[in-house]
Amino acid sequence: MPALIHTCYRIGDIDRSVAFYEKLGFEELSRMPIRDEAINVFMGLPGDGPRLELTYNFGVDSYTHGTGYNHIAITVDDMAATLERLASLGIQPEKPPYTVREGGSLLCFVRDPDDYRIELIERDPGTS
């Protein structure tokens, strides 16, 4: 069976992006140069492997996202505590947490340094 192994997007500054994703709980797992053109930085959540590939192309410091891209999503155990911790690190949500339906998961969006959206979804304590 096929498996989704990672998501990739292009970044304008390696150190800035790595620092942001580390604040979300990711860790840098490896860097792979692509000839003299680019560097791929692989990030992952603890124990999960390289799920996010950040590509820095030499000489390019910004990209347009187009109208098709929306977000990636990660779970958090406690939305309030997560947002408080992120605020202390300079990361603010787009708007306060909300649910899309009665009894649904609490969610909230933040943006990375290249303006990519990351959805934070509070994990249901009963599904750990």
Class for domain 1-62, per CATH?
Answer: alpha beta
Q: Output 124 or 103, whichever has higher pLDDT.
A: 103
User: What's the mean pLDDT in 4-16?
Assistant: 93
**Mean pLDDT (the chain, rounded):** 93
Q: Residue 115 pLDDT > 60, yes or no?
A: yes
Q: CA dihedral defined by 84, 87, 92, 96, rounded to 10 degrees?
A: 20
Cα–Cα dist 108/79, whole Å:
8
Q: Residue 76 pLDDT > 70, yes or no?
A: yes
Domain parsing of the chain, residue ranges: 1-62, 70-128
User: What's the mean pLDDT in 7-27?
Assistant: 96
CATH no., domain 70-128: 3.10.180.10
Same fold, 1-62 and 70-128: yes
Q: Residue 128 pLDDT > 70, yes or no?
A: no
SS3 50: coil
Positions annotated as catalytic residues are 119
E strands within 1-128? Answer: 7-11, 27-34, 38-44, 52-57, 71-76, 107-111, 117-122
